[in-house]
Amino acid sequence: MSEKNIYQDLQQLGIQSDLPNSPDEAILESVDNPQADVNYVVRFTAPEFTSLCPMTGQPDFGHMMIDYIPDKKLVESKSLKLFLGAFRNHGAFHEDCTITIAKRIIAEIDPKWLRIGGYWYPRGGIPIDLFFAHGEIPKGVWVPEQGVPPYRGRG
Q: Return the domain boundaries, the chain.
A: 41-135
This prediction's pTM: 0.89
Q: State yes or no: is 71 an active-site residue.
A: no
What gap in Å lies between CA 40 and CA 70, rounded to an integer? 7
Q: Residue 31's closest CA among 78, 67, 64, 81?
A: 78
End-to-end C-alpha distance for the chain, whole angstroms: 65
Q: How far apart are CA 14 and CA 7, in angstroms?
A: 10
Q: CA 15, CA 25: separation in Å to the nearest integer?
A: 18
Angstrom distance (rounded) from CA 32 to CA 97: 27
CATH T-level assignment (fold) for domain 41-135:
GTP Cyclohydrolase I, domain 2 (3.30.1130)
d(CA 146, CA 101): 17
Q: Is the pLDDT of residue 3 over 50?
A: no
Catalytic residue among 18, 24, 37, 60: 60
**Catalytic residue (one of 53, 71, 96, 129):** 53
pLDDT for res 36: 97
Largest CA distance in the chain: 65
Residues 6+ apart with CB under 8 A from 37: none
Asked whether the predicted pLDDT for residue 4 surpasses 60, the reply is: no
**Does 31 score more than 90 pLDDT?**
yes
Q: Answer whether residue 1 shows pLDDT above 50.
A: no
Instruction: Let me know if 18 is a catalytic residue.
Output: no
87-118 residue pLDDT tens: 999 999 999 999 999 999 999 999 999 999 99
For 59-74, the pLDDT digits (tens) are: 999 999 999 999 999 9
pLDDT category at 152 given cuts 50, 70, 90 is: confident
User: With contact defined as beta carbons under 8 Å apart, do 107 and 83 qualify?
Assistant: no
